[in-house]
Amino acid sequence: MRVDRFFLTVVLAAAVSACAVAQSPIDILRKSIDARRNTLASLIQSQSLVPTSEERILMKVELDGKGRIRRTMLQPLRFQGQVMIDDGKSILAFAPDAKELTVMSSAIRPLASAFRIEQISKNYRLSARKVEPIAGRTTVLITCRPVHKGMPWRRVSVDQKTSLPLRIVSTLDSKATTLLDTLSFDEPKSMPDSLFRAPQASEVKIIRLAGPTRVQSEEEAAERLDFRPWVPKGLPMGFAAEAMEVNSSGLAIRLTDGFHSVTLYQWDASAKTPGFGGLSDSDSFVSRGLRMAVIGDVPESIVQRIIENLRKESLNL
């Protein structure tokens, strides 16, 4: 009888270990960051319009496995039919009702996953386990516990076969928000090229947006701008500067803790330059002769902590 129990325990342990995930959680996340560029799939996904709001958007996402992505908005009605295509060279956004095609001629390629992974390793404690299928796919759930108090938890469900993230849930103060969910997942054999070209329609107005230029240092940014920018050194909650981009409106400094992205916009505080459109004076603040604004997919409390930190650091200089 004792032998039977022992045998049962061994079998149970073997079953549990078989179910355990072979890869480390960080390796799974690393693959998931690049998966959109090398997976051939057609998905219906629901995504939060703004990460901190309840409003959701339903879209069809088509990936051709060669780095091209087409997103067609299905709901809500005001976005229905809008198409966004990233063909690897430019980003096109087509609004059928307005008959406008926005073209970003020199789209900046996604940043290397290495920095993101390094940030995630520093700022989160990860664990992985297999869970119930999502949209008929077997997934691995990565639970990411933040090191810094006040940051949301992340739960990322990754498709075991393709490594695509199928569900992302953010939890802060016991309130869970599903940022991304997948309702259907198809693996077609191929995708027609026409899907990734600008939609054909008569009398389309083309709006060309000057693409940003990535710069490597404050000096290089200053050469391209009419003002001297400022890159903060000490950021709270594990955030660090990932990249700097200069465009016709000013400077955008991309900050991330690995999962969350926040942009620090800077432009000349003098009235001569309009700066980034869509921001009122109350959305921004002035420090060191620069007007700055912090916008990102994080709760307002985190934005405020970053702003507070920026103000302190700029005063101490």
Partner 1 sequence: MNCRIAKAKISEYLDSELSGHDMMAVRHHLSKCTACEQEFEIVSNLKQRIGQMKCAEPAPEFESKLFDAVLNSAPAPARRPISIWRYAAVTAMASALVVLGVLQFFDQPRSAPIAQDSRSMDVATDQALQGSLDPFGSAPVITVSNAGR
Query: Exposure of 166 by Cβ count < 10 A (0-12 exposed, 13-18 middle, 19+ buried)?
Result: buried
DSSP 8-state code for residue 298: S
Give the helix/strand (H/E) hosting 292: strand 290-296
Q: Is residue 204 a contact point for partner 1 (CB under 8 A)? A: yes
Query: Is the CB of 61 or the CB of 310 nearer to partner 1?
Result: 61
Shortest distance in whole angstroms from residue 235 CB to partner 1: 18
Q: Rule CB under 8 A: which of 34-93 touch partner 1?
A: 35-36, 47-51, 56-57, 59, 69, 71, 73, 75-77, 79, 82, 84, 86, 91, 93
- Residue numbers 97-126 binding partner 1 by CB under 8 A: 98, 100-102, 104, 107-110
Q: Is 94 in the site for partner 1 (CB under 8 A)?
A: yes
Q: State which residue, 59 or 306, has the beta carbon closest to partner 1.
A: 59
Q: Cα 15–20–21 angle (5° rounding)?
A: 145
Residue 70 contacts residue 85 (beta carbons within 8 Å): yes
Distance from chain centroid for Cα 67: 16
Dist. CA 239–CA 257, nearest whole Å: 4
| Total residues at interface with partner 1 (CB under 8 A) | 72
Smaller CB separation from partner 1, 261 or 314: 261
* Per-residue mark of binding to partner 1, 254-283 (x: CB under 8 A): x----xxx-x-x--------x-xxxx----
Residue 20 or 168 having the CB closest to partner 1: 168
Peptide bond into 76 cis (omega under 30): yes
Question: Which 209-238 residues touch partner 1, going by CB under 8 A?
Answer: 209-210, 212
Q: Which stretch binds partner 1 (CB under 8 A): 2-10, 94-102, 127-135, 303-311?
A: 94-102
- Of 137-156, binders to partner 1 (CB under 8 A) are 154, 156
Smallest distance from partner 1 to CB 5, Å: 46
Please, what is the minimum distance in Å from the beta carbon of residue 27 to partner 1?
15
Instruction: For 264, list phi and psi in degrees, rounded to 5.
Output: -100, 110
Among 264, 290, 293, 306, the residue binding partner 1 under the rule CB under 8 A is 293
The single residue among 24, 248, 301, 304 that binds partner 1, judged by CB under 8 A, is 248
> Segment 162-181, which members bind partner 1 (CB under 8 A)?
165, 168, 179
CA distances from 75 to 56, 57, 196, 302 (A): 8, 6, 21, 30
Q: CB count, 10 Å around CB of 208?
A: 11
Residue 252 as a binder of partner 1 (CB under 8 A): the answer is yes
The per-residue b/e assignment along 236-254, b for 16 or more CB within 10 angstroms, e otherwise, is bbbbbebbbbbbebbbbbb
| Distance separating alpha carbons of residues 224 and 221, to the nearest angstrom | 5
Looking at beta carbons only, is 48 or 137 nearer to partner 1?
A: 48
Are the CB atoms for 170 and 153 separated by under 8 Å? Answer: yes
Q: Is 16 in the site for partner 1 (CB under 8 A)?
A: no
Name the token pair of 32. 């998931």
Q: Among residues 208, 224, 311, 312, which is the contact residue for partner 1, using CB under 8 A? A: 208
**Residue 4 CB, nearest approach to partner 1 (Å):** 48
